[in-house]
Structure 1
Amino acid sequence: MENQASQECRAVYLTAEDLRVAASILYNAYHDDPFFMDALYRNDTAQYEQKLRGAIREELNELWQQEQGLIGIFSDERLIGVACIATQQVPLGEARYWHWRLKMLISAGWQSTQAWIKKEHQIVESLPNANCGIIQFIAVSTNEQGKGYGSQLVKTVLSWCDEQPHLDGVGVFVSEPAHNKLFASHGFEKLEQLAIGNVAGELMFYRGQNNE
């Protein structure tokens, strides 16, 4: 049944019209994410949720404008999974554009913006070279989890990676054991142990076909 569910979905690049639904999927998936809780939460749940929505919205819009990898999987006409990959063809971490910093500052606040920048900087510094991307977000709609779509989404990301002529692989910061197991099952290797803010995790890396 799990394989059947995976085969029924189709993967496509997201359009501008898909971004609102994509943001909703990511918000629900990352609501309790350790990094975002550490970076955004300040003993006020309503404020945290507002910051999280704003941060996800601004990052999606930035990735879209910079023509980065925004991939969705659809079941019939419903968007049920999202993966967002940023390559170092655009500035990341401490090199982020000023307009992104300003928008993120307004949406999430100074400390949260700095935490985001530091996270990216640590990941970029730990990647093998500048020809590697970062999985910024990857999630399946809450009511579609446990049906094999997560594996299908990871496979789609790897196929996308292999098709990029100047990309040597993609990294992802993982702080949950279940996520570690998922990525490891698809060929991701532990690259480095990282402590991002107060959150410990692993930087996992997929070496694309261009890097073999």
Structure 2
Amino acid sequence: MPQSTPAPAEVRLLDGGYSREARSLLYHAYRHEPTYAYLFEAERPGFEQRVRALVRERVRQHFLQDLPALGLLVDDRLIGIALISPPVRRLGVTESWAWRLRMMLSAGVRCTRRYLEYRAALLACLPGDAVHILPLLGIHPQFQGRHYGEQLLAAVHDWCAADESSRGVVLDTGNEHYLDFYRRQGYLEIGEVAVGPIREHVFFHPAPQRIALAPA
């Protein structure tokens, strides 16, 4: 049978009122990711709680610091989200001592240290300072395979391109399943980060070229 046409999705700039929905969506998006399985020790009891803690604390701090987040909504249900760290604010979340303390209390010292080391290695791969970073993004598993991922990334690129100082967008993944998808969206692989046995691929999407107008 032919596939039904996906329901139209609305792009919306989110605020803290979407925090609960964002946490639930991102937990489902990341709990099976190989990078997070290593960082938060999937082989040890309590893994799902540790992933929930990371998502909860990142989302809470993101909205607390009034950082941008773009969402996709279908019939007012949040089905996709991208947290965005602008160039001048990207260190704000994990550099917060309050955030680190909450992470150590909820996810453990060792897992928190692993996560911070992974983020530091990622930042070392950046092609300069003037880039936006997507620390967390995802489409709810129930809505994957319907081209919502393409719509979400296109919205992110358009939003970030409004900042004329931005050189582009950076994201990363340790899931081999997503590599070709990001390449089809125009991302270039600019580095790799070793996360235990996982090879984390770092991707960069250049900002659109702006044409300088000659004076009249």
Question: Which TM-score applies when normalising by structure 2?
Answer: 0.88
Summarize the alignment of residues 60-79 of structure 1 with structure 2, pairs less than 5 Å apart.
60-79=59-78
2: distance between equivalents of 1:41 and 1:200? 16
Deviation at 1:27, TM superposition (A): 0.6
Q: After TM superposition, give the deviation of residue 133 of structure 1 in Å.
A: 2.3
**Whole-angstrom distance in 2 between the partners of 1:4 and 1:165:** 36
- Measured in 1, the distance between the counterparts of 2:94 and 2:18 equals 28
Is there any run of 5+ residues in structure 1 with no aligned partner, and where? none
The one-letter amino acid paired with 1:137 is L
Which string of whole-angstrom CA distances, capped at 9 and with x for unpartnered residues, describes residues 13-35 of structure 1?
Answer: 11222111111111111111111
Q: Cα RMSD (Å) of the superposition?
A: 2.4
Q: Confirm or deny: 8 A CA contact 1:40 1:48 kept in the other structure.
A: yes
Q: Whose radius of gyration is greater, 1 or 2?
A: 2
Letter in 1 for 2:41: Y
More helix by share: 1
Tell me how many residue pairs correspond in the alignment: 210
Q: Which amino acid aligns with 2:52?
A: R
**Structure 1's 88 and 150: CA in aligned 2 closer, same or farther, altered over 3 A?**
same
Secondary structure of the 2:111 match is helix
Q: Secondary structure at the match of 1:209?
A: coil
Residues 124-171 of structure 1: CA distance to partner in whole angstroms, max 9, x if unpaired? 111111121221111111111111111111111111111123322121
The reply on whether 1:111 has 2:110 as its aligned counterpart is yes
Counterpart residue type for residue 88 of structure 2: Q
- Tell me the residue number matched to 2:200: 201
Q: Which residue of 2 aligns with 1:26?
A: 26
Structure 2: gaps (5+ residues): 212-216
Q: What is the percent sequence identity of the aligned residues?
A: 25
1:176 aligns with 175
The residue type paired with residue 114 of structure 1 is R
Paired with 1:65 and 1:89, the residues of 2 have a C-alpha distance of: 16
Task: Name the CA shift for 1:55/1:140 in 2 (closer, same or farther; >3 Å).
Answer: same
Q: CA deviation at 1:94?
A: 11
CA distance in 1 between counterparts of 2:208 and 2:66 reads: 22
